Amino acid sequence: MTATDAATGLLALDVAALRERFPALAMEQDGRPVVFLDGPGGTQVPASVIEAMAHYLRASNANAGGAFATSRDSDACLAEAHRALADLLGAASPQQVKFGPNMTTLTFALSRAVGATLEPGDEIVVTTLDHEANISPWRRLAADRGLTVRTVDIDRDCRLDLASLEANLSEHTRLVAVGYASNAVGTINPVREIVERAHQVGALCFVDAVHYAPHGSLDVQVIGADFLVCSVYKFFGPHVGVLYGRTELLERLPAYKVRPAHDAWETGTQNHEGIAGALAAVEYLAELGRRSGALRDGSRRQALLAALSAIAVHERTLAGRLLSGLLAIPGLRVVGPADPDRPEERTPTFAVRLEGWTPRGLAVALAERGIFAWDGDFYATALMERLGLAELGGVVRLGLVHYNTLEEVERTLTELATLASLPHSERR
């Protein structure tokens, strides 16, 4: 697929070529290729990322700050990784990027620091749509500090109700925690508008971009986020979390750290090999952009923007076909945005339920057919409770990323249609 996309001027992704870079995509089950639709839970990893982590352990494995060669190499790798993630996020400085074990741990650490500046009667706003990692830390903080938590509701299509947001903002609001996109149903939120509304009442805004990051470009300066978090293992890298924060906030907040720590936010010894993999994951995306032939300059940031634009075009094609096929299967319900004329409002992540099947039973049946998909609530517990699905096993989540193909989409639809046609006595 190398034809130019008229809407973007970018060359379409050469999906066949890039798939060869992912060792896991060669996996077979019962003589057929496996279809990985588990991307929202963690994407597969290109060989270059695997090799970068192995190379670090072979040639640069040392703690930071030493006078000897392997420590100096380690320092250089960590510094370049901060620059790479700053490029991915659109941050003004690498010093605004902090690594940690995962998004959840980083959020708990930040919530503790923010909480030290708040008083009883102050308010925090969360949403029904979010992953629990962007709800529970703030609720625990509120319980410890005597704060009030207010919750933004959703509409019937699992979109954030902006009227509910407005009703929950006040002069007492100190922080709004919101997701860029729902990891369960794919809804993309109007984050820039939400940040603006938070700032209008003098509140900070904390954005969870974990699910959105593999699907579109991020620019923390354009959206105005005070803090933004993401997870490298959701965009083709290892299990490492990333926090962006505005410089003045990172410097002002009372971070919890040991006395000699060189960085107030990167506590303890970091996962150096994982950070080397994070650098390689960003470079993998940048390389896709450099091959597009549509760069305005030679910067890594521009290469990343080109790559993510091409990815969005490819994924939108896949998502459009998957959505139309799902809507045509008798007894199948798409939970969340399902308007084919509004593709910009969702990621290519679809939550489904099939009549007569439990989510786990359907996921098992798909797995037996070589299609790997998650079932459950995916830590979007509040959302599943709001939808009345928490006690029913949640949903099955079909998650596409840029290495998926139309052939895989068609195979998935065929298998789902077959399962939908089975007698109820054979459903699980």
Position 13 confidence tier, pLDDT thresholds 50, 70, 90: confident
Query: Given this model, what pLDDT does residue 297 score?
Result: 64
Assess whether pLDDT exceeds 80 at residue 101: yes
Check residue 259 and give its pLDDT: 83
Model confidence at 152, pLDDT cuts 50, 70, 90, reads very high
Q: Quote the pLDDT of residue 293.
A: 60
Entry field: residues in the chain: 428
Delineate the domains of the chain, giving CATH numbers in brackets.
15-47+300-420 (3.90.1150.10), 50-284 (3.40.640.10)
Query: What confidence tens digit (pLDDT) does each residue in 348-386 have?
Result: 999 999 999 999 999 999 999 999 999 999 999 999 999
For the stretch 191-234, pLDDT in tens is 999 999 999 999 999 999 999 999 999 999 999 999 999 999 99
- pTM of the predicted model, to two decimals? 0.94
* Predicted local confidence at residue 5, as pLDDT: 43
> In whole angstroms, what is the distance from residue 204 CA to residue 236 CA?
30
Instruction: State the pLDDT at residue 6.
Output: 36
What distance in Å separates the CA atoms of residue 167 and residue 64, rounded to the nearest whole number?
48
Average pLDDT over residues 307-326: 96
Model pLDDT, residue 3? 34
Residue 10 has pLDDT above 60, yes or no: no
User: Mean of the per-residue pLDDT values for the chain?
Assistant: 95
Quote the percentage of the chain above a pLDDT of 70.
96
**Rounded mean pLDDT of 330-342?**
95
The predicted pLDDT at position 4 comes to 40
The model's pLDDT over 402-418, given as tens digits with 9 standing for 90+, comes to 999 999 999 999 999 99
> pLDDT (tens digit, 9 = 90+) per residue, 232-284?
999 999 999 999 999 999 999 999 989 888 899 999 999 999 999 999 999 99
Greater pLDDT, 344 or 182: 182
pLDDT tens per residue, range 60-94:
999 999 999 999 999 999 999 999 999 999 999 99
When pLDDT is cut at 50, 70 and 90, the band that residue 425 belongs to is confident
- Arithmetic mean of pLDDT, 90-110: 97
Average pLDDT of span 325-346: 95
pLDDT at 335 over 90: yes
Q: What integer pLDDT is reported at residue 2 of this predicted model?
A: 40
